[in-house]
Amino acid sequence: MKCPYCESDNTSVVDSRSVSARVRRRRECEGCGHRFTTYEEAESLDIDVDKRDGSREPFRVSKVEDGVRRAVKDTAVDDDETVREVASVVKARVADRDVVSTDEIGEMVMEALKERDEVAYLRFASVYEKFDSAKGFVERAQDLE
């Protein structure tokens, strides 16, 4: 963790507390003496994601957040709170898994969005499932009723 004032790597933690899934740390730079605050979050749980192309990558909450953020853009639920909420629903559901597929993650996001906003839900579903026919889209839309 570099000091934002002088970029020294020598900083020490003077206070640390958990704020939900994040840890807020008060640090002091040993180079220049300035104090600053960091919010640290475990970026990667120890979970693998099986992708559709057969490759595997570590699960990242930030990737889920990016997808949700795109889906909610300009809808009634276009705010950071919704993005964080949906991502944490997914995170909680995969937390005790070793491996999860992108399809499963997609379903979890869709379920969470469906309860919050229909436009965001349909937008996510259309990007996610790459509907190859109007029928698929209509079926999803009918699910809402």
| Alpha carbon 69 to chain centroid, angstroms | 9
The nearest distance, CB 36 to Zn ion, in angstroms, is: 8
- Minimum CB distance to Zn ion smaller for 15 or for 43: 15
- Minimum CB distance to Zn ion smaller for 8 or for 44: 8
The nearest distance, CB 11 to Zn ion, in angstroms, is: 7
The nearest distance, CB 117 to Zn ion, in angstroms, is: 44
The residues that touch Zn ion, with contacts defined as CB under 5 A, are 3, 5-6, 8, 29, 31-32
* Per-residue H/E/C for 40-91: EECCEEEEEEECCCCCEEEEEHHHHHHHHHHHHCCCCCCCHHHHHHHHHHHH
